[in-house]
Amino acid sequence: MTETLNEPTEGKVFTASGGDWADIAEEAASLNEERIVVNMGPQHPSTHGVLRLILELDGETVTEARCGIGYLHTGIEKNMEFRTWTQGVTFCTRMDYLTPLFQETTYCLGVERLLGITDDVPERATVIRVLLMELNRIGSHLVALATGGMEIGALTVMTVGFRARETVLHLLEFITGLRMNHAFIRPGGLAQDLPPGAIDRIRADIPSLLQDLKDLEKLNNENPLVKARLQGVGYLDLTGCMALGITGPILRSTGLPHDLRKSQPYCGYETYDFDVQTWDTCDAYGRLRIRLNEMYESIRIIEQTLDRLEEIGPGPVMIGDKKIAWPAQLAIGGDGMGNSLDHIKEIMGTSMEALIHHFKLVTEGFRVPAGQVYNPVESARGELGVHLVSDGGTRPYRAHFRDPGFVNLQAVAAMCEGSQIADVIAAVASIDPVMGGVDR
């Protein structure tokens, strides 16, 4: 009788494919131990993207944890080498899609340092950048709390968190035209000024946002179920953070008040009144409390930016150098984007030189002096940095980002090994990795 493929063979049978899984299965067979290797994913366990966790289990205890990444790799950094410096904003804003405005800011600050125009950026543009980043920080933290709550069964936390985030997204859409991936911050300033009524609208929405934050505090802070699931889970002390290069809320949950807005100020953060939030438990619960408290600090900064914008009054939001300044301060065209019809009529009907310059600036771009720069900012997840290299051309020779989610994800093994499998999700949620930023 001929043996078919469906008939079992004698002895142990391992059906495996892929490098990691094949190696683990072979090792498991050779040791003759009763242990289980589980592929958790690729899926979405509080990671805002697809993460594969390879867990080795001894009963309910995790004895080894490894991350499999790369499922959202998009080649953004390489693509930026084939686009102009201004077009690069459109790429980098899409990496960590929960913090697009931080990525735009750190990239533009780096380009401006290479150009030597940091001090020429209008004050109004800088204040608006701070306003947008702090709104974005609140929105990102709300997703972290909402999805983290969902994963431990606190569904009301999820609904309140996403309801509050809608308030933030509506404001960002009103200002930039898009809910995410804005490409609003440009080298030299901004795409355009705040729309009429923006300051009043933001002020009007702050009370409802504060109420949602208070509701989240009531649902989380002293909730015995939340405490039972998060206290002591995902433990990582200061030594571990330093060894792995961990930053952001994970580092501050060890009690160290490290925040680049204070230690290496940019965009005038040294002139704003706010406190760096810390906790001293080194666990998932401490990171939850830090994110809640940081949102209140962000609202403090936002209110200060609104006061400054009213004090500054109308003004330019792009540098005056027309060799660099992408056309800004223009009415939006009839298609909802692009330049205003009046501007197009002017450059096409009155000045051939203006038309040629506009064409070259948009298609070819400006040249950046040869050199390299590393520029960090304090993103919602920690230190977000960009390393830019210019060879003197109109495109980056190299653009590489230090994404905090990528670095922080190294902590999975340290946080999860030795704990229960049920605690893995809570630990990963407290890291708050966004796989678009991890994989890039």
d(CA 328, CA 318): 7
CATH code reported for the domain at 76-324+366-439: 1.10.645.10
Tell me, letter by letter, the H, E, C secondary structure of 245-258: CCCCHHHHCCCCCC
d(CA 201, CA 220): 29
- Of the candidates 201, 211, 228, 151, the one whose C-alpha atom is nearest the C-alpha of residue 428 is 151
For the chain, the residue count is 440
The residue whose two tokens read 């300051």 is 199
Helix, strand, coil percentages in the chain from 3-state DSSP, rounded to 5: 50, 10, 40
First-last CA distance in the chain: 53
Domain boundaries, the chain: 76-324+366-439
Output the pTM of the full model: 0.84
Q: List the chain pLDDT tens, one digit each, 440 residues.
A: 444 445 555 555 555 455 566 676 676 667 666 678 888 877 665 566 788 888 888 878 888 888 888 888 889 999 999 998 888 899 989 888 899 999 999 999 999 999 988 888 899 999 999 999 999 999 999 999 998 888 888 888 889 999 999 999 999 998 888 888 888 899 988 888 888 888 999 999 999 999 999 998 888 888 888 888 888 888 888 998 898 899 989 999 998 999 899 999 998 899 999 999 999 898 889 999 999 999 999 999 999 999 999 888 888 888 877 778 776 445 554 444 555 666 666 666 676 777 777 777 778 888 889 999 999 999 999 999 999 999 988 899 999 999 998 999 988 888 888 888 888 888 888 888 888 888 88
d(CA 183, CA 187): 11
Q: Distance of alpha carbon 16 from its chain centroid, rounded?
A: 35
